[in-house]
């Protein structure tokens, strides 16, 4: 069987990780226990235990969750997937008892903890809180294993009725030396084209400029302890659509504008200086998967967008976000500074191995905040009969940055998941409240 090497972008995510800046995605699923609607008897207090047992049993049947990452001799600096011969569900599925009424409180320390790099890079933490009517599950998937859509496909295989994840494409067999020589002219032409594309993307990054108008609250000490805080907020999708229909643009434009307005409100409430300049650069990841694409690994590019925090009017902020996103879409996800993820395809594996720590330290030169959207299917997720009522996506936090925002829509509700450097952002709950206030302001403007 041919060796399945990590793709360049997957390898980049694997190499840039550090103990203080783990590179895993997360999703916090909040469940209503199956017995909660059974009448006066209430929920079965063993719902969390049963959920943990189901996850442990089902994960052993999902091939994509039984693979670990190993360094290889050739190409130098590369890494490849290999089966874990000692796969043990008990090292991936954990039952956590917490006194916190809000599962986000328990999720923060767990998001700060790196995954074991000697094991298949994922975990599931079943959070059994004081409320017997519900429990939560925090899923963690390393970014080298999957992007948001790929992680969704893997997690869906663990639920009661989730579709099985698509098998990742088989690696292309290595060519024999004679075949490679015959293909040399075409290979050289392709390499020249690759270099040209890399230079074009690099130039676009340079044109994006150095950080301008970046509030101090969006920066963190790169040498800090790496503690994490997590918060979530649920908003009514009907209200978002009301704004979209009245003001134009897309649902995503409105959701990004809500983030911009919330940041401005939050800074004002903290007493920070009024935002000035073009605003912080938000990296908006864009999936490069086809309509049917799930599979493993990462298929990402991105857009780069200046969040107009200096604009006081909510509708004008939305208008500026919409115009900037339209320009990004006209250029396409393979062009512009947001396509910096594509540079990974032009770097030799040894470059990723030696330069990964340097690239991780340089994240603030590329963007100031991550704002990502993870689409969810329309059906209802359940586990052992317990239904998911809320899903909060959680994004990794880059070195030197204090905040990452992820958003998903599930069952008519928009869920914002916030991950912050706990030392730099001790008031993350206030930012979650500012998201609510900003959507309320937009609704008033269009009503």
| Residue 395 C-beta-side C-alpha neighbours within 13 Å | 26
Sequence-distant (≥ 6) Cβ neighbours of residue 296 within 8 angstroms: 64, 145, 146, 150, 154, 165, 168
Residues 6+ apart with CB under 8 A from 258: 235, 240, 435, 438, 439, 442
Which candidate, 408, 144, 170, 166, places its Cα nearest to that of 294? 166
pLDDT of residue 373: 92
pTM of the model: 0.85
pLDDT for residue 113: 96
Give the pLDDT confidence score for residue 351 in this predicted structure. Answer: 61
Q: What angle do the packed helices 428-446 and 251-270 form, to 10 degrees? A: 120
Asked whether 119 and 92 are in contact (CB, 8 A), the reply is yes
pLDDT, residue 292, reads 45
pLDDT at 416: 98
| Mean pLDDT, contiguous 10-residue spans, the chain (447 residues) | 82 90 95 59 69 96 96 90 97 94 95 97 94 90 88 90 45 39 43 44 51 82 90 98 96 98 96 90 78 53 90 97 93 65 59 59 78 88 93 94 96 97 96 98 96
What is d(CA 406, CA 285) in angstroms, rounded to the nearest whole number?
10
In 3D, which of 414, 441, 416 has the Cα closest to residue 431? 416
Positive or negative, the CA dihedral 365, 362, 274, 420 is: positive
């Amino acid at each position: 069987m041919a060796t399945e090497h990590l793709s360049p972008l997957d390898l980049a995510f694997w190499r840039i990780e550090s103990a203080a800046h783990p590179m895993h995605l997360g999703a916090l699923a909040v469940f209503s226990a199956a017995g909660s609607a059974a009448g006066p008897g209430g929920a079965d207090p063993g719902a969390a235990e049963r959920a943990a047992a189901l996850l442990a049993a089902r994960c052993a049947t999902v091939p994509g969750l039984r693979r670990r990452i190993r360094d290889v001799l050739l190409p130098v600096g590369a890494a490849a997937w290999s089966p874990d011969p000692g796969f043990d569900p008990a090292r991936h599925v954990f039952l956590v008892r917490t006194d916190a009424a809000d599962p986000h409180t328990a999720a923060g320390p767990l998001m700060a903890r790196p995954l074991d790099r000697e094991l298949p890079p994922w975990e599931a933490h079943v959070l059994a809180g004081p409320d017997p009517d519900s429990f939560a599950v925090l899923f963690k998937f390393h970014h080298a294993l999957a992007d948001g859509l790929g992680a969704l496909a893997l997690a869906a295989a663990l639920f009661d009725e989730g579709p099985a994840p698509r098998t990742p494409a088989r690696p292309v067999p290595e060519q024999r030396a004679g075949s490679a020589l015959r293909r040399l002219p075409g290979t050289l032409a392709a390499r020249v084209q690759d270099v040209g594309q890399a230079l074009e993307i690099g130039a676009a990054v340079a044109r994006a400029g150095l950080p301008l108008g970046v509030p101090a609250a969006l920066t963190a000490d790169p040498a800090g302890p790496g503690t994490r805080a997590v918060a979530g907020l649920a908003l009514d999708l009907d209200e978002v659509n009301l704004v979209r229909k009245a003001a134009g643009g897309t649902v995503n434009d409105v959701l990004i504008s809500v983030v911009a307005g919330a940041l401005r409100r939050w800074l004002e409430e903290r007493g920070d200086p009024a935002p000035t300049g073009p605003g912080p650069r938000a990296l908006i990841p864009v999936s490069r998967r086809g309509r049917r694409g799930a599979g493993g690994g990462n298929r990402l590019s991105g857009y780069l967008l200046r969040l107009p925090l200096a604009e006081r009017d909510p509708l004008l902020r939305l208008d500026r976000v919409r115009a900037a996103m339209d320009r990004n879409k006209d250029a396409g996800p393979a062009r512009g500074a947001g396509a910096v993820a594509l540079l990974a395809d032009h770097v030799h594996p040894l470059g990723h191995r030696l330069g990964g720590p340097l690239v991780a330290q340089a994240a603030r030169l590329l963007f100031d905040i991550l704002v990502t959207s993870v689409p969810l299917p329309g059906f209802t997720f359940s586990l052992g009969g317990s239904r998911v009522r809320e899903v909060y996506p959680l994004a990794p936090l880059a070195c030197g940055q204090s905040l990452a925002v992820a958003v998903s829509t599930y069952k008519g509700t928009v869920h914002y998941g916030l991950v912050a450097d706990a030392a730099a952002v001790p008031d993350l709950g206030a930012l979650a409240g500012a998201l609510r206030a900003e959507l309320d302001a937009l609704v008033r403007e269009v009503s």
